[in-house]
Amino acid sequence: MARETVAVGADHGGYVMKTELARQLSEMGFGILDLGTDSDASVDYPDYAERVVDAIKDGRAARGLLVCGSGIGMSIAANRHPGIRAALCHDVASATLSRQHNDANILVLGERLIDSELAKQCLVAFFTTEFEGGRHERRVAKLG
């Protein structure tokens, strides 16, 4: 069975957490497509959101992970694209529900808002939870 590839991206405010979480995903058996940034030097978050979105849209990755300082900018940038359902999560419940009910395909986290341990728990919940389908399919279809 082929490993699912996850595209990961961050700006300078999320670089440290992105690096930790990419390692966690790899340990969970996922392939990693690291699309930067590769340091804490100032960069523009929309550029990295776009890279992850493009990787999902062109099939290089099945899902994505984006990290910035708050997660808000990355969420806004990613969700501008049809077919992208980026979920900014602050706890395990939101990460789980974003998959079960919304079929989210990008997990977004804010490095300045949640600690590393909680981020790892959100990551595990998001990437191990399946979409429930059923009554949720009609709603997700309306998202375009």
pLDDT of residue 144: 82
Please give the mean pLDDT across all residues of the chain: 97
Segments of the chain with pLDDT less than 70: 1-2
pLDDT in tens, 30-64: 999 999 999 999 999 999 999 999 999 999 999 99
SS3 5: strand
pLDDT of residue 2: 58
pLDDT of residue 46: 98
Angle between helices 92-100 and 116-128 (to 10 degrees): 20
pLDDT of residue 1: 43
Buried/exposed code over 47-67 (b: 16+ C-beta within 10 A; e: otherwise): ebbbbbbebbeeeebebbbbb
Domains of the chain: 5-141 (3.40.1400.10)
Q: Which residues are catalytic?
A: 68, 101
* Whole-structure pTM value: 0.97
- Cβ neighbours for 132, distance < 8 A, ≥ 6 positions apart: 100, 101
pLDDT of residue 57: 98
d(Cα 13, Cα 124) in Å, to the nearest integer? 22
Specify the length of the chain in residues: 144
